[in-house]
Each structure stands twice: as structure tokens, then as C-alpha cells.
Amino acid sequence: MRLLIANDDGVYSPGLLLLAEIAAKFGEVRIVAPDFEQSSMGQAITFSRPLSYRRVAIAHFDAYRVNGTPADCVAIGIHNWDKVDVVLSGINLGHNLGNSTWHSGTLAAAKQAALFGVRGIALSAPPIESVEAYGKIRPYVEEVLAQILAVRPAPLLVNVNFPAAPRGVAWTRLSIRHYDGKVVLAKDPMGRTIYWFTAVPIEQVEPDTDRAAIEAGLVSMTPLRLDLTDHATLAELGRR
């Protein structure tokens, strides 16, 4: 099995190194990741300038850095490696739950794989500073990958989030009733108003969602689809 590893935190992220180490137990691993952090870039692609693809030393891995977005990395990675079986994206330093998946570069890399017809799995966890800090999450990364790669029907796209100290795993749906994006005002040193568009904690989680799983100490696995069509509304409109 060929596993392509990407992320949005950049090629030197400890989360990416942990994911590559565990992925190597499942087959042949190659890393193709952005040379700078690309968090919250969503599924942007670079079309106004050419991209480079350069070998980089990441432990003993076959690794490359691209001066582009997570989606660029997956496109070039799949182009340069025959028969990629699955793209793993992460492990992101920070959760990607509910509506934040619209902004996530981590999930976008997995979605880019799905657009090419390749299975994509995005993985996110609380922020950490070194691979050693992943002690409690590490065994669950392997368990979750084994489970998702073996389960039938095989999901094309899965968004995985790990709590800090997992005690189990759960299949979930996206938490979409609440949105954690908020614009916060401040003043710059010259006294002018500036704005931070940031994420704020969400209360009152909906049952069976990714957010509820994390609060319960469970690894959340959400199968996603590329079809954004509102089928219920379409059927209703079609009847008229």
C-alpha cells in the first residue's frame, strides 16, 4: 500500500512526523508537504505562479517540500507517485471540528485526494510541541488508521479528531448548528482598529457529533462526501 502524507502545518511539523512513523506500519510512505504553514487556507490552489518540489530531510523518510498549499502538495504528490492508495493529512496541531472544516487546510488535503478518486483521511489533535507529547494519542492513531482502511463500505473521505487522552473511538457526524468563527476587535500601536478573525469555544454540543465525541474523550471519525447538493430542498423544489 502506498500512503502519501501531507498537512497544512508545514513539512517540519511534529504531527506530520508522528503520522509518517505510524503510516509506515501500513506500507510505503512518502511525505509531500508545504514548506510554510498553510493553516486555514482551505482548498486553495496556486495557479498564478509555478511550484517547486524539493527533497527534504525528515528522519529516514522519502520527503518533499512544495512552496504551495496543502491541495497543491496532494496534486503534485499524486502526479509524481504512481498508484497512491491513500492520502493521510496531519496530524494537525489543533482540532478541525464542525464548521471549522470549511477553513481547514488539513481536511482540504484529504478532500483534494478524494477529488482525484484517491481515499483521503484527515487527522487532527490538540496542539503539542514535540512528537513525545503524543504518547496517549499514538496507539489510537494506529488503531483508527487500521479501522478506517479495513472498514467496508470503504469511505472515500474521513475527518478524524483525537482528544488529548482518548479512551475509545466513535463514528460521528459534523457539528454544524454552531459556528466558532468570530471577529474580535483590537487597536494597533497607532490606535487604529484592527480585526482578528478567530475561533471561539462552542458550548451546548449536539449529540452524536464530532464535538460531542471529543468532549467525551473519544476519537471522532466523520465520513464526509464531496456532494454539497441539498437533496431535500432539491426534491422539494423539483416537486413544484
Residues that bind Mn ion (CB under 5 A): 8-9, 39, 92
Compute the least distance from the CB of residue 34 to Mn ion, in Å.
10
Is 13 or 175 the residue whose CB approaches Mn ion more closely?
Answer: 13
Compute the least distance from the CB of residue 107 to Mn ion, in Å.
10
Is 9 or 72 the residue whose CB approaches Mn ion more closely?
Answer: 9
Is 9 or 21 the residue whose CB approaches Mn ion more closely?
Answer: 9
Cβ proximity of 102 and 42 under 8 Å = yes
Please measure the distance between the N-terminal and C-terminal CA atoms of the chain and give it in whole angstroms: 49
Measured CA distances, 146 to 42, 123, 233 (Å): 27, 14, 37
Residue with cell 525528515: 58
Compute the least distance from the CB of residue 122 to Mn ion, in Å.
10
Give residue number: closest CB to Mn ion.
39
Cβ proximity of 92 and 10 under 8 Å = no
Is 90 or 149 the residue whose CB approaches Mn ion more closely?
Answer: 90
Is 39 or 43 the residue whose CB approaches Mn ion more closely?
Answer: 39
| Of 207, 137, 202, 196, nearest in space to 169 by CA | 137
Compute the least distance from the CB of residue 50 to Mn ion, in Å.
25
Compute the least distance from the CB of residue 150 to Mn ion, in Å.
27
Euclidean distance between CA atoms 71 and 122, whole angstroms: 13
| Of 61, 97, 63, 94, nearest in space to 80 by CA | 63
Euclidean distance between CA atoms 75 and 138, whole angstroms: 28
